[in-house]
Chains A and B, each alone.
Chain A
Amino acid sequence: MDVMASHLPTLPGEAAARSAAGGAVVAERDGVRAVAALLEPGDVPAVCDALEAACRRLRDLPVGRVIDAVDAAARRLRDPADPTRREVAGSLTALSGLSPAMADHVLARVSQDWLAPALHGLLDAELGGAEAVDGFIRRGDGRRARAIAPALGLHVFSGNVPGISVTSIVRALLVKSAVIGKPAAGEPAMAAAFARLLAEADPDVGDCVAVHYWTGGNTGLEDAFLARAGLVVHYGGEDAIAALRARARPDTRFVEHGPRLSFAIIDPAGLDDPAAAARDLAVATALFDQQGCVSPQLAWILGPPADAAAFAERTADALRDIQDTLPRGRLDAAEAAAIHQLRTHAEFRAIRGDDIRLWTGEGLSFTVIADPAPGIDPSCLNRTLIVKAIDSIDSLVRQLHPARRYLQTAGVAGFHGNRLLELATRLGDAGVTRITPVHEMPWPPPDWRHDGRGPLTELIHWLDLEG
């Protein structure tokens, strides 16, 4: 099966002819090939001209058209019988390495955010309603304001959480900004498939989205797009972001979602059902095989080390069950070696006499390590959870300090009322930007302030009209 890693509705004739004769194979595995068009830097101005023209047309249309088109495309991705949905799911398992159960689960859940009610909610929460992008909204005192987004944005997606690409495209369309999206090699197909579904639902909306894969660091294509993009949205590693940022125009709005560290903090004394809390933590660890920025890498358990070990054991039991229903995906050699290495360190520390404990699933399906040593020990991901005892929130805040700039989601369980408020204040001071019940960790609401910033407001500027 061939899946497309490009969707270029306005590809200039010559490039289209070139690509029709045979595209570039981006990834190939288990009978699935992702193929990209053959785009040259010289083709880019025409692609951008067409996207900007489509964006101008979109600005004269109500945003309701965007909502309807996105909703229709999302419904097709949610329909197991739809051929595009089958193509996307096939690519997620063969090329991204997700287990089929995980691909289905994530696709069903993440696409909820693209349905009309979620989109209306997002516009309301972020911009006070659809009016702010269709025209001026009233601000009181007779003042009015309008949300303005750059006509064209370059979006660079990461491949860790399926659907990040689509969410990024949808956010831009809601503020009427055209998109050139660059998918990750690890998830090459979903963005292009979604763009195609959009175009089928409403060509006026579809014309605002182009998707094309190229190898990162292909400066010819990148520079050609950067010359035209008034907005860059970049998901990915620090080095890749820094490299692109250095080459972006100084007036380009640069929105980055770089690497993050998320964790859980749990007070067993405040839990009604510790087994359920451990299950929640296990699910949060297992989803996306722990590759999400929202995935917990560590869990701190308030109390003595014995309590932490007991909670770790429950979590390990739950991870073992999850392996049956939502199996871990494929590992590459480096990922497997990293897990073996982490296990070895733990095992030999135990042999040496340290009070460290290790629970492992069959093969490398999961690893839970209860480690009494203080400090942040990063996980190597793919369902590897480090559990630590902590005696106070003060010491947690101290231990978090070195990782301050990376902190994102803190999943909380067993804290209530004023204690929760107090904890939230302390974690906020420590650099955390999202605090949520552990079971909500993987699924932030559509209007969450991703890394502390509004998902639509970070794309726009306001035009104030006074008097």
Chain B
Amino acid sequence: MRDATGRGIKAGVVDLLGQPLDEPLDDDAFNRIAVRIFQFQYARNRPYAAFCDRRGVTPESVALWTDIPAVPTAAFKEVALVAGDPAEAEAVFRTSGTTQGLEKRGAHHILDLALYHFALIPNFAACVLPDGAEMPMLSLVPSSTEMPDSSLAHMVGVVLERLGSRESGYFATASHGIDDGRLATALRAAAESGTPVCLVGTSFAFVHCLDRMRERGERHDLPPASRIMDTGGYKGRSREVDEAEMRQLYGEFLGIPASHCVNEYGMTEMCSQFYDSSLRDSVRGRERDRRKLVPPWVRTRVVDPETLEPVSPGTTGLLQHFDLANVGSVMAIQTEDLGVALDEGFQLLGRAPGAMPRGCSIAMDMLLEAVGQQQRR
């Protein structure tokens, strides 16, 4: 970050990123830095300032983090939401397109990759490696050199390098998909040597992978402490399997118990991620329902889908995240993800499905697809 104010704020945020996961920031502390970030973003991020102005919100009117307008993720498809010069971004992560390939892709400009890494590493370690284990990480996500646009590929690359053991590696490429043979060999070797491994990949990659294992009659009984981090939806790229069924399959085909299955929820538009509490709870002997943990430098609110006002506790609504690590873009993000608030976190209920007409009016998706087919011809 070249901007002096930005660097000052970054230093403050970096301090917070060292905060242990179980020590939430009090509202005052969160407020102080959130309001500073808002002032900075209002001054440096023109489209965001215009968005705030249209709502009558200015730095003068913001006293609490809850006053800060949250930008819908759709906005990242229309403008560069960056607190500075987009040309100075150290990385630009893009959302994946839909199956129609027509929809615009959202772009998240990262002014400061170091900050991204500061948010990523301690949180991953606390949730996926809460026992302090260092083990081979086997990635079904292609490397970031192949997919420079992908925040997930970047994230996995950093995690493999900083947190994985020397035997970590990639078992998929963007062009050829998963290398089943090499993966099977690595899994067999792990089982034989008794070395636990950490598998990392998207849920849809694992669905494909497990489907083929079933076809081949292949099963692995990975050593205790082996674990899996899966992430993301399916977006029509594989058959849909619900999370509980996935965990059952991980147990059946890989010998990984549900406690060691950690689902990640991340968004291209955010520098911070959320992970299941399951493994952390298991290591600490804590019993409670699985939930996504919110790191201290993030606040997540559940809002009414229509009014975008906070809902009463226990009610399902859309998730709104305030991510202090998003200093260089927009801190307050309005998602289309449904969830319900729980103690220390939330339960993710998935993406609000595409709105379907109740009958004979054509759905948006269908029409876009028809228009797209014509345009491609």
Contact = CB atoms under 8 A, between A and B. Distances in A.
B358 A160 contact: yes
B334 interface: yes
Contacts of A338: 352, 354-355, 364
A61 B256 CA distance: 70
Contact of B362 (A184, A257, A259, A335): A259
Given A337-B336, A344-B75, A351-B51, A293 B360 contact: yes
Interface in B359-377: 359-364, 366-368, 370-371, 373-375
A333 B305 contact: yes
A216 B353 CA distance: 18
A261 B360 contact: no
A401 B375 CA distance: 11
Contacts of A164: 359
B47 A352 contact: yes
A291 B359 contact: yes
B375 A333 contact: no
B162 interface: no
B66 interface: no
A443 B363 CA distance: 21
A341 to B, nearest CB: 5
A235 B352 contact: no
A258 interface: yes
Interface residues of A, number: 53
Contacts of A238: 366
A62 interface: no
A337 B75 contact: no
Question: Which of A160, A236, A347, A406 counts the most chain B CB atoms within 10 A?
Answer: A347
Nearest to B372: A402
Dominant SS among interface residues on chain A:
mixed
Contacts of B308: 340
B131 interface: no
Contact of A378 (B71, B368, B374): B368
Interface string B304-331: 0111100000001110000000000000
Given A186-B358, A260-B361, A380-B355, A331 B51 contact: no
A379 interface: yes
Contacts of B50: 351
Interface in A361-395: 363-364, 375-376, 378-381
Contacts of B363: 237, 259, 378
A262 B367 CA distance: 12
Contact of A347 (B51, B361, B375): B51
Contact of A341 (B336, B353, B359, B374): B336
B55 to A, nearest CB: 10
A331 B306 contact: yes
B359 A236 contact: yes
Nearest to B308: A340
Contacts of A351: 47, 50-51, 78-79
Given A337-B305, A347-B51, A376-B367, A297 B79 contact: no
A359 to B, nearest CB: 13
B79 A402 contact: no
A349 interface: yes
A243 interface: no
Contacts of A237: 356-357, 363
Interface string A276-299: 000000000000001111010100
A379 B317 contact: no
Interface in B15-37: none
Nearest to B50: A351
Nearest to B335: A337
Contacts of A461: none
Interface in B270-311: 305-308
Given A347-B54, A403-B367, A363 B306 contact: yes
B360 A292 contact: yes
A397 to B, nearest CB: 14
Interface string A120-131: 000000000000
Contacts of A333: 305, 316-318, 338, 352
Contact of A345 (B78, B305, B353, B359): B78
A293 B360 CA distance: 5
A158 B356 CA distance: 12
Contacts of A349: 78
B74 A331 contact: no
B77 interface: yes
B305 A331 contact: yes
B72 interface: yes
16 contacts: A159-B359, A164-B359, A238-B366, A260-B361, A293-B359, A331-B305, A340-B74, A340-B305, A344-B72, A348-B78, A378-B367, A378-B368, A380-B355, A381-B361, A403-B370, A403-B371
Interface of A: 158-161, 164, 184, 186, 235-238, 257-262, 290-293, 295, 297, 331-338, 340-341, 344-345, 347-349, 351-352, 363-364, 375-376, 378-381, 401-403, 405-406
Given A336-B352, A402-B371, 4 more contacts: A257-B360, A332-B355, A340-B308, A403-B367
